[in-house]
Amino acid sequence: MTKKSAAVAAQRTELVSITDGIATVEIASAAGGALASYRWWQNGSAVDWLRPADPAAIGRRDAGAMACFPLVPYSNRIRGGRFEFAGRPIRLPTGPDDPHHEHGHGWRHPWTVVSHEASMVVLRYRHAADSWPWSYEAEQKISLAGGRLCMTIAVRNLSDTPMPVGFGLHPYFPATPWTHVQAGVSGMWETDTEVLPIRHVPPPAGADPSIGFDVSEVDFDTVFTGWARHARISWPERGRLLDIEAEAPLDFLVLYTPPGEPFFCAEPVSNITDVFNRMDHEDVSTGCIVLAPGQRRSASVRFTPSLAV
């Protein structure tokens, strides 16, 4: 077997596929329960609605290079990996490449496939208490119908004390010079040099998501508040649209638009960055959820594509 064929074979064993006859989704359960691709086919050519992972990323199980990965038990950064809850100091592992223990655990560990049908798969991740002193179970249900992708993410507290939590999704979308985003919001969190929130302010003039902006003209790594839980992405030069609809409590939208990159992110999440250090903010909701022992919270996100006729 050649190196190329071995790589292809290894990739195939890493992936679980679902299809509804219009769309196909590939899931890399070992890579943090991430999606490797979500695509349609048009005249024999692939239409990728999310940034597809390449074989090398799949082979090294790199969730951050995938099409979408789950965020549990919180979204984004916790300053220094430290916070206090119910009088208990929490110290999460940090390092030079991860000084704020970004995005929690789910994307760092393999998920188990617990159900697999033609157009639906269910993944599960169970976390045993460690530096995060609560045990919990996370689940993703990923399904296709009529070309639409629906992802439901859930978290259940398995410990015997209340657990603070946040969750969401981290999808990557293709970016072109004309990619346009519109999403109703009312505010945003201004950040410091470490992309951690310092104050709540109105959306920026000239790049207000409520009005819409071209991805190539902004540089966001920003949590937007007051999100109406709907966003529309358009690629006008390709005749493509994608609507994102989320359920409560995914009331925040993170927009990440790194200049010069062929991708950007629009992340439906339940909490702001550094939420566990800002649980008592008086002026604006920060999205911290507290799960009682045995309690479960979930929310769905639907991705609905369309092509110009």
pLDDT tens, residue by residue, 251-278: 999 999 999 999 999 999 999 999 999 9
pLDDT, residue 208, reads 98
Task: Write out pLDDT tens, residues 114-130.
Answer: 999 999 999 999 999 99
| Residue-wise pLDDT tens digits, 188-203 | 999 999 999 999 999 9
Residue 278 to residue 190: CA distance in whole angstroms: 14
What pLDDT band is residue 282 in, cutting at 50, 70 and 90?
A: low
Distance (Å, rounded) from C-alpha 297 to C-alpha 270?
Answer: 11
* Whether residue 235 has pLDDT greater than 90: yes
In this predicted structure, the answer to whether residue 92 has a pLDDT above a threshold of 50 is yes
The DSSP letter of residue 292 is: P
The sign of the dihedral angle between the CA atoms of 300, 101, 277, 186 is: negative
Going by their DSSP bridges, the two strands 82-85 and 296-307 should be labelled as unpaired
pLDDT of residue 9: 43
pLDDT digits (tens, 9 = 90+) for 133-185: 999 999 999 999 999 999 999 999 999 999 999 999 999 999 999 999 999 99
- Give dist(CA 33, CA 124) in Å, integer: 8
CB atoms within 10 A of CB 92: 17
pTM above 0.75, yes or no: yes
Inform me whether the pLDDT recorded for 63 exceeds 80: yes
pLDDT, the chain, mean: 94
pLDDT at 11: 45
Task: Tell me what pLDDT residue 14 has.
Answer: 80
109 pLDDT band (50/70/90 cuts)? very high
Q: Residue 1: its pLDDT value, please?
A: 42
- Delineate the domains of the chain, giving CATH numbers in brackets: 12-307 (2.70.98.10)
If pLDDT is split at 50, 70 and 90, which confidence band does 2 have?
low
Q: Does the pLDDT of residue 3 top 90, yes or no?
A: no
Specify the pLDDT at position 42: 83
DSSP state of 72: B
Q: How confident is the model at residue 309 (pLDDT cuts 50, 70, 90)?
A: low
